[in-house]
């Protein structure tokens, strides 16, 4: 049985889709079977980031509505044969995303994949709550600024109340992925400090991804950054995050700073 | 439609109790409204989706003044669900209904339309409301209270082992103890308990209130920020003191 991960944030544009693709590719590089599911009905992006936009025939809504089989909608990545994409619909109404439909699709994906990564839309509406509903693990993508942190806090509250795990009285495993971290701005004090974000959200840190032109460059060529330029700083951060997801204990380094911060932050108890 | 008419069933009226906040306007109303605006501007959504009662007990107000006040509140999106302490002559049919002090409510069955139906419905007397407990109940929260979460505990004290986030809110009938950072809002003693207190180990609050008296982040002395503090009332004055 595979693990279902939701990549969520509340606030838009913080890097959920970038992270879903990069982590998906990083996990698949090890030979594990990975599917990345786009829940952003009407604003799909994942197909572009993964360079599959011209190969989309059927999508999640088609599968939910019974117009296509799951196997017909899944797109295999051209570079990694264990990486798949289940695209969202760009044209259909998001009301077609039904709770029962999502449940059936996720249950089927869990049977044949090691990792099911759900790229959540922004906000706290239906699309976002359905994306998190069946997750085993949540990755909360946050930028080091107040509004993003507050929205993430709100999302963590929903993860602890509105998901299937929460309703069954279980605790969802949650990880913080701090993205678009800019060492120069941190130096000037224009950004929240890593410690402050961790203190406010009090969930364990999965990684810190630096703000980098490599991310834009990767998306322009339609490739997850972990595939297009694996030696780049953001790619390394995502590879490390993927290893931590598998349960490895690796120190987290703050970009631009020498000190590692293993004992201090990663060892912090999950809330 | 016809089957509905031929098979009369008693309509079930279910008891619901909410913790309503009571607004107690004071003369001059302009000043009072200005204060209300101030509070609303400090904490957005303060009055949204929350049952509000207008308490006019002992207030010198006539019907046209009351109507004007309700209009002014309406303009501010403050919706009043009932009016407490008003003489019957004060209330017009276009106004919220009169209300008396809220009590815990049990389910109520509306009277059936005829004997036959009544006989078929097993009559169960509504259980009498439980007598007020002697011990003071308390609520223990062992995780952070997240943004967007609201905790209502009109029965007594609330203890949070963790932080209360910006945009989170705790409303307690008794005192509130926060062992983490208080970044959100806390209202203690909301059922009219002026001896309630608020304690936190790190103060970053958006708003604190005891028995209706409040302070917003702006009103709080700067040098108390980040400190362990307590709040209490001495008569009408809101007191703050360091706990260290
Ligand atoms: N580490 C990074 N460095 C530089 N730019 C980044 C980084 N991460 C993301 N971006 C850019 O930020 C923008 C938003 O990213 P992305 O689409 O992944 O966010 P999202 O959270 O999925 O947005 P939405 O809420 O709209 O779905 C994109 O232009 C992306 O290239
Ligand atoms: Mg996205």
pLDDT value for A39: 96
What value does the mean pLDDT of chain A take?
A: 91
List, for residues B228-243, the tens digit of each pLDDT value.
999 999 988 899 999 8
Per-residue confidence band for B122, with pLDDT thresholds at 50, 70 and 90: very low
B66 or A258, greater pLDDT: B66
Lowest mean pLDDT among A31-35, A223-227, A232-236, A262-266: A262-266
pLDDT value for A91: 81
B18, with CB counted inside 10 A (0-12, 13-18, 19+), is exposed
List, for residues A9-60, the tens digit of each pLDDT value.
999 999 999 999 999 999 999 899 999 999 999 888 899 999 998 889 899 9
Q: Nearest 5 degrees, angle CA A48-CA A50-CA A54? A: 55
C-beta atoms of A150 and B143 within 8 A: no
The reply to whether ligand 1 has any atom less than 6 angstroms from the CB of A45 is yes
Asked whether the beta carbons of A212 and A233 are under 8 A apart, the reply is yes
Q: Which atom of ligand 1 sits closest to the CA of residue A122?
A: 25
Atom 3, ligand 1: residue with shortest CA distance: A211
Query: Which residue is closest to A203 within chain B, CA to CA?
Result: B144
C-beta atoms of B143 and A160 within 8 A: yes
Helices (H) and strands (E) in chain A, counts: 13, 8
List, for residues B155-168, the tens digit of each pLDDT value.
999 999 999 999 89
Proportion of chain B in helix, strand, coil states, percent, rounded to 5: 20, 30, 50
Q: Which phi and psi angles does A176 have, rounded to 5°?
A: -100, 125
Per-residue confidence band for B49, with pLDDT thresholds at 50, 70 and 90: low
What value does the mean pLDDT of chain B take?
A: 80
The reply to whether ligand 1 has any atom less than 6 angstroms from the CB of A2 is no
Domains, chain B, ordered by start: 21-99 (3.30.70), 138-242 (2.160.20.70)
Question: A220 pLDDT exceeds 80?
Answer: yes
The shortest C-alpha distance from B148 to chain A (Å) reads 6
- Whole-angstrom distance, CA of residue B221 vs CA of residue B175: 21
Question: B42 pLDDT exceeds 50?
Answer: yes
pLDDT value for B17: 61
Measured between beta carbons, which residues in chain A are less than 8 angstroms from residue B147?
150-151, 153-154, 157
- CA pseudo-torsion sign B200, B203, B209, B213: positive
List, for residues A51-96, the tens digit of each pLDDT value.
998 889 899 999 999 999 999 999 999 999 999 999 998 887 888 8
Measured between beta carbons, which residues in chain B are less than 8 angstroms from residue A199?
163, 181
Q: A150 and chain B: CB distance < 8 Å anywhere?
A: yes
How far is the centre of ligand 1, averaged over its atoms, from the C-alpha of A76 (Å)? Answer: 23
A71, with CB counted inside 10 A (0-12, 13-18, 19+), is exposed
List, for residues B89-103, the tens digit of each pLDDT value.
888 888 888 877 554
| Beta bridge partner(s), residue B186 | B170, B208
pLDDT value for A6: 98
pLDDT value for B110: 42
- Whole-angstrom distance, CA of residue A130 vs CA of residue A102: 7
Q: Which atom of ligand 1 sits closest to the CA of residue A45?
A: 17
How far is the centre of ligand 1, averaged over its atoms, from the C-alpha of A18 (Å)? Answer: 6
B184 or B8, greater pLDDT: B184
Measured between beta carbons, which residues in chain A are less than 8 angstroms from residue B168?
153, 157
The reply to whether ligand 1 has any atom less than 6 angstroms from the CB of A143 is no
Residues 6 or more apart whose CB falls under 8 angstroms from that of B31 comprise none
- Whole-angstrom distance, CA of residue B215 vs CA of residue B217: 7
| DSSP character string of B117-176 | HHHHS---PPPPPPPPPSSPPEEEE-SPBPTT-EEEETTSEEEESS-B-TT-EEEESS-E
Longest dimension (CA), chain A: 54
Average pLDDT (A218-239) is: 95
SS3 A10: coil
Asked whether the beta carbons of A214 and A234 are under 8 A apart, the reply is yes
C-beta atoms of A154 and B167 within 8 A: yes
Residue B129: asked if its preceding bond is cis (omega within 30°), the reply is no
Average pLDDT (A235-260) is: 88
| DSSP character string of B12-28 | EE------PEEE---SS
Nearest to A157 among B148, B163, B181 (CB): B148
- Whole-angstrom distance, CA of residue B98 vs CA of residue B81: 9
The reply to whether ligand 1 has any atom less than 6 angstroms from the CB of A15 is yes
B118 or B203, greater pLDDT: B203
The shortest C-alpha distance from B147 to chain A (Å) reads 5
The shortest C-alpha distance from B180 to chain A (Å) reads 10
Q: Which phi and psi angles does A103 have, rounded to 5°?
A: -60, -45
Lowest mean pLDDT among A175-189, A250-264, B7-21, B210-224: B7-21
Q: A65 and chain B: CB distance < 8 Å anywhere?
A: no
Asked whether the beta carbons of A177 and A35 are under 8 A apart, the reply is no
pLDDT value for B141: 94
């Amino acid at each position: 049985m595979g693990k279902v991960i939701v990549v969520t944030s509340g606030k838009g544009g913080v890097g959920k889709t970038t992270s879903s693709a990069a982590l998906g590719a990083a996990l698949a590089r090890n030979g594990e079977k990975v599917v990345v599911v786009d829940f952003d009905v009407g604003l799909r992006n994942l197909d572009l980031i993964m360079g599959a936009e011209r190969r989309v025939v059927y999508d999640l809504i088609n599968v939910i509505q019974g117009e296509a089989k799951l196997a017909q909608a899944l797109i295999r990545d051209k570079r990694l044969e264990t990486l798949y994409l289940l695209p969202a619909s760009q044209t259909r109404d998001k009301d077609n995303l039904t709770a029962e439909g999502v449940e059936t699709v996720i249950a089927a994906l869990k049977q044949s994949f090691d990792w099911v990564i759900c790229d959540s839309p922004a906000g706290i509406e239906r699309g976002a709550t359905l994306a998190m509903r069946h997750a085993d693990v949540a990755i909360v993508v946050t930028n080091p600024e107040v509004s993003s942190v507050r929205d993430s806090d709100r999302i963590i509250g929903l993860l602890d109340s509105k998901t299937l795990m929460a309703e069954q009285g279980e605790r969802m495993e949650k990880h913080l992925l701090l993205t678009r971290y800019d060492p120069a701005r941190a130096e000037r004090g224009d950004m929240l400090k890593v410690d402050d974000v961790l203190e406010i959200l009090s969930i364990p840190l999965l990684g810190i991804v630096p703000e980098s032109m490599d991310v834009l460059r990767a998306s322009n060529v339609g490739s997850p950054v972990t595939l297009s330029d694996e030696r780049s700083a953001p790619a390394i951060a995502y590879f490390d995050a993927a290893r931590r997801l598998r349960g490895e204990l690796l120190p987290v380094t703050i970009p631009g700073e020498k000190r590692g911060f293993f004992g201090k932050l990663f060892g912090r108890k999950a809330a | 439609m016809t089957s509905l008419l031929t098979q009369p069933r008693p309509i079930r009226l279910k008891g619901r109790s909410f913790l309503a906040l009571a607004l107690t306007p004071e003369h001059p109303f302009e000043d009072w409204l200005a204060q209300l605006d101030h509070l609303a501007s400090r904490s957005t959504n303060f009055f949204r989706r929350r049952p509000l009662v207008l308490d006019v007990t002992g207030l010198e107000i006539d019907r046209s003044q009351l109507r004007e006040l309700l209009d002014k509140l309406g303009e501010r999106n403050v919706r009043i669900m009932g009016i407490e302490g008003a003489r019957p002559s004060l209330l017009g049919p276009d106004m919220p209904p009169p209300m008396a002090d809220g009590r815990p409510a049990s389910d109520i069955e509306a009277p059936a339309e005829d004997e036959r139906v009544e006989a078929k419905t097993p009559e169960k007397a509504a259980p009498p409301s439980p007598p007020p407990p002697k011990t003071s109940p308390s609520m223990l929260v062992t995780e952070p209270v997240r943004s967007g979460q609201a905790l209502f505990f009109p029965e007594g004290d609330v203890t949070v082992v963790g932080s209360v986030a910006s945009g989170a809110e705790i409303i307690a009938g008794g005192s509130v103890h926060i062992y983490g950072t208080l970044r959100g809002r806390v209202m203690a003693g909301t059922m009219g308990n002026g001896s309630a207190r608020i304690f936190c180990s790190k103060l970053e609050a958006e708003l604190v209130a005891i028995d209706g008296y409040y302070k917003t982040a702006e009103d709080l002395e700067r040098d108390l920020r980040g400190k362990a503090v307590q709040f209490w009332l001495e008569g009408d004055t809101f007191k703050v003191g360091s706990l260290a």
